[in-house]
Amino acid sequence: MHTVKELQDKVSDLFDTRNYLSTPSELYAPIQYSLSQGGKRLRPLLSFMACSLFGGNFKEVENPAIGLEIFHNFTLLHDDIMDQSDLRRGLPSVFKKWDANTAILSGDTMFVIAYEYVTKTNPDILVEVLRLFNQTAKEVCEGQQYDMNYEKQPVVSIEDYMEMIRLKTAVLIAAALKVGAIVSRTSPLQAQKIYDFGIFIGLAFQLRDDFLDAFGDVDVFGKPIGNDIITNKKTFLYLTAYQRADNAMKQSLDHAFAANNPEEKIRRVMDCYAQLNIRDITEQKIKELHDQSQLILHEIDRPEADKQEIYQFLNILIQREV
Amino acid sequence: MHTVKELQDKVSDLFDTRNYLSTPSELYAPIQYSLSQGGKRLRPLLSFMACSLFGGNFKEVENPAIGLEIFHNFTLLHDDIMDQSDLRRGLPSVFKKWDANTAILSGDTMFVIAYEYVTKTNPDILVEVLRLFNQTAKEVCEGQQYDMNYEKQPVVSIEDYMEMIRLKTAVLIAAALKVGAIVSRTSPLQAQKIYDFGIFIGLAFQLRDDFLDAFGDVDVFGKPIGNDIITNKKTFLYLTAYQRADNAMKQSLDHAFAANNPEEKIRRVMDCYAQLNIRDITEQKIKELHDQSQLILHEIDRPEADKQEIYQFLNILIQREV
């Protein structure tokens, strides 16, 4: 087993030395810009962690892990156009720094580059990795579509929301873990278990995001608190509040979300959330998902001692403040 | 050997029965709309023709051929956003009928579906087909970028223009032919020859497009003549005219292209083209490319009689009026 730090260094080495510049520069400069920003590099790290857990060969996990990370960054380029997001990792998004056409075409090219890396997977497992990659990519697109649909839809159930974040966020985290299992030639059952584990981790990860937007420490979080509230985003907090509110409280929520002044809007919505106990309910839900993930991790046929690194890392991830 | 008609029927069968509808419908309805429109289905037809020429198994060429056609249609969805094109095959483009976000995300999903079909290629040739597909997809993106660059660039050489249309149009036609050779397990040399043949055919095909916009018969062509002139598009005709014009004629061209009234603009530009002999020069260039393609086809190690179908079909393609 390797420590998380060792694996993080391996992942950094993989990306820091890589150069995507080519001609025409108008196409490749935005790709270089996007991929040199770093970010958490969570997905390739998870591939390496799973590979380490199952005793696989790191050389074999490198290419599909790079492919998954580039795919993830491609989705961000296109999402930022669709969501009209000007900022990404504290810097101007490609859409903002260049324009929509650049973000479309450079994004498409990143998608191809992602497949180029996946294509370098060892041939005896290539079809399995490709199928996983294709299915995941399609589901991520479906998740983004549901997310856009729900913006316009007046009522969204918690079940539908959880299914949306499963598609948009969790399946890619699960696929990153499963890739580490596949290159280690585990049994299909073990590969499925680490995938299912990843789904619960991914769901908890996204709910933690929703949570931090309202209850994060502004000094630690690094971005303004309450952005989801200001944009009327249908997060787990928002949907749970409406689900649990009686008619009078629903009216209060409607009034709060209709407020024009941003600070007043946040204050009034947070007041409703406090009355409805949304903080505890969300923390409880995250804990449930975390517990379910731990149950599955426990079932995986590897020595418990070897699972400690993953266990501790994900503990930190799910309880993170940023 | 099969007749073109037989192969066209095979290709039609492949696509006419296919249903891409799934949930969320907001994502898949535009895909179904795009892929049920038909169009020439030129690329899968070329894959089948090459497979027939090299004596391959049609069952094996189906999936990568479908993948190439879906990839081609994906590029049209994104190109129509970038070029702000409202019409595609005489119908509203996805971008126009829905919106840019729909065309981005449904396009991305089509790209994944294209890879799903390519992934179904027989495993012993999968890596070779994937590499060809990845390289082609990247080059098509590069070609689209050069095309957009050249719109803003005051001077573009004929060489640069030919390289742009090689990337944007010819490599996909060449790849479609090469796929038919790969599934037939030809030698790499034969596969390369049919690819090179396809490049010249693709270049001639695009120049014929440029030609028809100015010299086509409006009743046969089915779309208004002179659209490239109205939009100041840097076609082979435009670039050749400026390359061959003396200073006085350059001024005439500048004035003609600056005219406000579309009919007058077309009339004046066509008048310059007539003085510069652009019609003959373009026809001569197409003939040269066609001749070069025939030389390569001749070198391919198959009986000449078996090449007649391809020969005649491409003759019609390059001399087409629509």
Please compute Rg for chain B using Cα positions. 20
How many other C-beta atoms lie within 10 A of the C-beta of residue A24? 17
Task: Give which of B75, B84, B104 to mutate to test A binding, by max A Cβ within 10 Å.
Answer: B104
Same-domain status, B171 and B198: no
Same-domain status, B38 and B171: yes
Same-domain status, B210 and B182: no
Q: What percent of chain B has pLDDT over 70?
A: 98
Contact residues on chain A for B142, CB-CB shorter than 8 A: 23-24, 27, 109
Q: Does A151 touch chain B (CB under 8 A)?
A: no
Domain boundary among A185, A216, A236: A185
Domain boundary among A134, A166, A185: A185
pLDDT at res. A69 = 97
Residues B73-95 have pLDDT tens digits of: 999 999 999 999 998 888 999 99
Nearest to B119 among A23, A101, A130 (CB): A130
Across the strands, what pairs with B88?
B91
Q: d(Cα A282, Cα A128) in Å, to the nearest integer?
A: 36
With a cut of 0.85, is the ipTM above it?
yes
Same-domain status, A13 and A115: yes
* Cβ contacts of A168 within 8 Å, gap of 6 or more: A140, A143, A144, A146, A147, A206
Average pLDDT over residues B176-188: 98
Residue B4 structure tokens: 């073109």
Q: Does A247 touch chain B (CB under 8 A)?
A: no
Closest CA in chain B for residue A116:
B134
pLDDT at res. B16 = 85
Same-domain status, B36 and B5: yes
Same-domain status, B177 and B208: no
Single-letter residue type at B314: L
Q: Name the burial class of residue A124, with classes exposed (0-12), middle (13-18) and buried (19+) by CB atoms within 10 angstroms of its CB.
A: exposed
Same-domain status, B131 and B58: yes
Domain boundary among B186, B210, B235: B186
Task: Quote the minimal CA–CA distance from B271 to chain A in Å.
Answer: 35
Q: Tell me the angle at which helices B304-318 and B188-215 cross, rounded to the nearest 10 degrees.
A: 30
B119: pLDDT strictly greater than 90: yes
pLDDT at res. A1 = 75
User: What letter would DSSP give residue A166?
Assistant: I
Q: Does A319 touch chain B (CB under 8 A)?
A: no
Helix, strand, or coil (residue B165): helix
For residues B28 and B21, the answer to whether their CB atoms sit within 8 Å is yes
Contact residues on chain B for A145, CB-CB shorter than 8 A: 24, 26-27, 105
Q: Does B81 touch chain A (CB under 8 A)?
A: yes
Domain that holds residue A68: 1-185
Cβ separation of A145 and B81 shorter than 8 Å? no
Residues B2-54 have pLDDT tens digits of: 899 999 999 999 988 889 999 999 999 999 999 998 778 999 999 999 999 99
For residues B68 and B39, the answer to whether their CB atoms sit within 8 Å is no
Contact residues on chain B for A101, CB-CB shorter than 8 A: 81-82, 148
Q: Does B162 touch chain A (CB under 8 A)?
A: no
pLDDT at res. B312 = 86
Nearest to B141 among A105, A123, A138 (CB): A105
pLDDT at res. B317 = 83
Cis omega (within 30 of 0) for bond into B24:
yes
pLDDT at res. B316 = 84
Task: Quote the minimal CA–CA distance from A140 to chain B in Å.
Answer: 9
Residues B143-181 have pLDDT tens digits of: 999 999 999 998 999 999 999 999 999 999 999 999 999
Same-domain status, A228 and A296: yes
Q: d(Cα A172, Cα A188) in Å, to the nearest integer?
A: 18
Q: Does A245 touch chain B (CB under 8 A)?
A: no
Q: Does A95 touch chain B (CB under 8 A)?
A: no
Same-domain status, A176 and A228: no
Same-domain status, A226 and A172: no
Cβ separation of A138 and B23 shorter than 8 Å? no
Q: Does B26 touch chain A (CB under 8 A)?
A: yes
Looking at every residue in chain B, the average pLDDT score rounds to 94
Cβ separation of B138 and A109 shorter than 8 Å? yes
* Cβ contacts of A34 within 8 Å, gap of 6 or more: A73, A76, A77, A94, A106, A110
Task: Give which of A134, A136, A152, A156 to mutate to test B binding, by max B Cβ within 10 Å.
Answer: A134
**How many contacts (CB atoms, under 8 Å) link A and B?**
101
Q: d(Cα B148, Cα A99) in Å, to the nearest integer?
A: 13
Task: Quote the minimal CA–CA distance from B82 to chain A in Å.
Answer: 6
pLDDT at res. B221 = 58
For residues B214 and B273, the answer to whether their CB atoms sit within 8 Å is yes
Q: Does B142 touch chain A (CB under 8 A)?
A: yes
Cβ separation of B27 and A141 shorter than 8 Å? yes
Nearest to A111 among B100, B111, B130 (CB): B111
Cβ separation of B141 and A112 shorter than 8 Å? yes
Number of domains in chain A: 2
Same-domain status, B252 and B284: yes
Can you give the CATH number for the domain in which B159 is found?
1.10.600.10
B/e letters for B167-193, b = 16+ CB within 10 Å, e = fewer, are bbbbbbbbbbbbbbbbbbebeeebbeb
Q: Are strands B91-92 and B87-88 parallel, antiparallel or unpaired?
A: antiparallel
Per residue of chain A (322 residues), give pLDDT as tens.
Answer: 789 999 999 999 998 888 999 999 999 999 999 999 877 899 999 999 999 999 999 999 999 999 999 999 999 999 999 999 998 888 999 999 999 999 999 999 999 999 999 999 999 999 999 999 999 999 999 999 999 999 999 899 999 999 999 999 999 999 999 999 999 999 999 999 999 999 999 999 999 999 999 998 777 655 667 989 998 999 999 999 999 999 999 999 999 999 999 999 999 999 999 999 999 999 999 999 999 999 999 999 999 999 998 888 888 888 876 6
Same-domain status, A281 and A227: yes
Task: Quote the minimal CA–CA distance from A76 to chain B in Å.
Answer: 12
What are the distances in angstroms from CA A142 to CA B27, B28, B135?
7, 9, 27
Task: Give which of A23, A63, A142 to mutate to test B binding, by max B Cβ within 10 Å.
Answer: A142
